[in-house]
Amino acid sequence: MASLQTLLSILFFTAIAFHQGLVDAKFSKSMYISWGAHHSAILGNGDDLQLVLDQSSGSGVQSKRAFLFGSIEMLIKLVPGNSAGTVTAYYVSSTGNMHDEIDFEFLGNISGEPFIVHTNIYTQGIGSREQQFYLWFDPTADYHNYTIHWNPTEVVWYIDSLPIRVYRNYENEGIAYPNKQGMRVYSSIWNADNWATRGGLVKTDWNSAPFIARFRRFRPRACKWVGPASTSLCASNSPANWWTSPTYSQLSSAQMGQLQWVRNNYLIYDYCQDAKRFNEQIPPECFKKQF
Ligand SMILES: *[C@@H]1O[C@H](CO)[C@@H](O)[C@H](O)[C@H]1NC(C)=O
Ligand SMILES: *[C@@H]1O[C@H](CO)[C@@H](O)[C@H](O)[C@H]1NC(C)=O
């Protein structure tokens, strides 16, 4: 009897914890301005957002909901002209000192010099897993699609549907994976001229302010998180369980080729190749197949 009861309560918990949803997407419905409100604005029909940095403040938004797994899309047009010293961020994160986090950060540069795309992932409060890339286009000329794809099997960072990085779940080999904490979506812009551009050599030129990053068409195709529960799938009877299908839990060979192309041509830094930093103790996931 006891075990039946336990089973039933697990089923019940799973059902409420993973109530899935194609969450209503517009910024005006699903996000709020959490910082620098006098600067930021949600525009048009609620599908456009601009975040502003000037000498008085940066600014940021966050999603009202937290999610557990999903494909979180954002179109972003980065600060044009002289953006040196500025950082624009787009990431998902849980809270607390054991938090999980998956990041895109865009490090500005002087006019005509390349932005750096900085990626990282934290599991249970530990990050230090940076990979950095240059881009194969001018990210200030137009909107581009930056997607964080996060399912029980892997995390994939996509730019315009090209996978640039994968972090696979090797939890069964003792490597932490973000699958137990709901994460909110955040975007922000701030001054980081102590490190962002050429390692802090180039300072923000406030004569070029205000610095404006533009965001469009936020789409969190994700499972709503309503409380702690163990790893599970998002409502297995729902149409949104597409991320568990084979095509979503592993890159196709064409996508592996794309990822290799990005790494061969645009990778600047990979923590897995930085043995010195880790005192020759390279983190264990670096020895696992990631894509
Ligand atoms: C953005 O990229 C993701 C991942 O490839 C893709 O699923 C989605 O359809 C793209 N969205 C747009 C608006 O292009
Ligand atoms: C800025 O441009 C310089 C010179 O091309 C380059 O070395 C650097 O990586 C670029 N990006 C950043 C964020 O510093």
**In sequence order, what are the beta bridge partners of 76?**
144, 215
Work out which ligand 1 atom sits closest to the CA atom of 149. Answer: 4
Instruction: State yes or no: is 173 an active-site residue.
Output: no
> Lowest-confidence range among 18-22, 205-209, 224-228, 275-279?
18-22
State if residue 73 touches ligand 1 by the CB under 6 angstroms criterion: yes
Work out which ligand 1 atom sits closest to the CA atom of 75. Answer: 13
Distance 242 CA to ligand 1 centre (A): 14
Query: Does 76 or 242 have the greater pLDDT score?
Result: 76
Q: Per-residue confidence at 23, pLDDT binned at 50, 70, 90?
A: very low
Q: Using CA positions, which residue lies closest to atom 5 of ligand 2?
A: 113
Q: Which of 83, 106, 116 to mutate to test the pocket of ligand 2 (most atoms within 8 A of CB)?
A: 116
Shortest CA distance to 269 belongs to which of 152, 118, 144? 118
Detail the DSSP E strand segments found in 23-136: 31-35, 41-43, 48-53, 59-63, 67-77, 86-93, 101-107, 116-122, 131-133
Q: Using CA positions, which residue lies closest to atom 13 of ligand 2?
A: 197
Residue 144 confidence (pLDDT) above 80: yes
Q: Which domain holds residue 71?
A: 2-287
- If one counts the domains in the chain, the total is 1
Burial class (CB in 10 A: 0-12, 13-18, 19+), 82: buried
Residue 14 confidence (pLDDT) above 50: no
Residues 6+ apart with CB under 8 A from 21: 222, 223, 224, 240
Question: What is the predicted pLDDT for the residue at 226?
Answer: 75
Query: Across all residues in the chain, what is the average pLDDT?
Result: 87
Distance 158 CA to ligand 1 centre (A): 8
Q: Which of 106, 107, 109 to mutate to test the pocket of ligand 2 (most atoms within 8 A of CB)?
A: 109
Closest ligand relative to 117 C-alpha: 2
Instruction: State yes or no: is 285 an active-site residue.
Output: no
Coil vs helix vs strand at 285? helix
Residue 34 confidence (pLDDT) above 80: yes
Closest ligand relative to 133 C-alpha: 2
CATH number at residue 100: 2.60.120.200
* Phi, psi at 249, each rounded to 5°: -100, 0
Residue 219 confidence (pLDDT) above 90: no
Residue 146 confidence (pLDDT) above 90: yes
Distance 214 CA to ligand 1 centre (A): 18
